[in-house]
Structure 1
C-alpha cells in the first residue's frame, strides 16, 4: 500500500466536503475546489472524526500509481480552501522592478520592453517594495504555475546572481574568467 495514499486527511473546522461517486467538492473560507475521482479509487468521509480516507478498489498497477497522487491532491484542496497557498518571488538586479496595473503584472527585468503577465482567475498577485512579488490562491497547482511563469521571464544566472528568484533560493555562483 502507498505510504502517502494510506494517510488519513484531517478536515479542519469550517471546511465542508461533498462527495458523489465521481467527484469531491471542498468548500472553505477561502473558496471552493472540486476534482473528479479516478474510477480505480474510492473516497470515504467519516463525519464523526471529520476525516477523509482514499482507498483503492483493486490492486492494479494503474490504481497503485494514482493512489498517493490523488491523496496529495485532495489534501492540497483541503489546505487551500482553509488557509490558501502563497509563493513569494524576489527581483535581484540593477533596475529590476515590478508593479501592478489592476490584474496585470508589469515587469522590468532588463529587456527593452516591459513584460506583462495577466493573473489567471482565482490567483491574486501583489507587489511589495517594487522588488517582491507575492502570488496567492487556493489552488496549489495554479499558484506554482504562475510563479514559474513569472520566474521564467528572467531566470537567475550563475555569474552575477541576477534574475527572478524564489524567496530564500540560493544560486550557486560560478567564477568568471580569470586573467593571467
Structure 2
C-alpha cells in the first residue's frame, strides 16, 4: 500500500487554501525585509535587514531543493530519480554561493536562484506527480520573492555606489 498517490485524486486544479496561505505567509519576510532595505531601515532591532533577507532566501532555496528530493524519492523511473536528486542539490549550493558572496551581489544571486527554481517548477513539476495546482503556486511565490529580493539587491547596490 502506498501512502502517497502517484496520480492526482479528484479535481486538483484549484490551489488549496492551506498551501496558498502558508505560501503567502512565507512571502512576508521577503516583502518586509525588502521594504526595510528600500526605506533605508536596514537595522531592524539590531538585525541587518539585507543580511536577514539573504539568509531567508538561502533557507527557502534549500527548502525548495528538499521538495525535489522528496519528488525523487517517489518517482518510479531510476533515470528520472537520479536527475531529480541532482537538481535537488542545486538550490542549496546556489544559496550557499550567494551567502559567500554576500551583500547586493549575494542578493542578486539569490533572486536569480529563486527565479530559476520557480521557472523550473512552473514548467517541469507537472511531470513528477505534483498536483496540477502546484506549478501555479510556485510561479506566484517565485515571482513575488524574486521581485522583492532583486529590488533589495538594486537598492543595496545603489546605496553602496553612493557611498
Task: Provide TM-score, normalisation by structure 2.
Answer: 0.28
Specify the structure having the higher radius of gyration (Cα). 1
Instruction: Report which of the two has the higher share of strand.
Output: 1
Higher relative contact order (CA 8 A, sep 6+): 2
Task: Provide TM-score, normalisation by structure 1.
Answer: 0.26
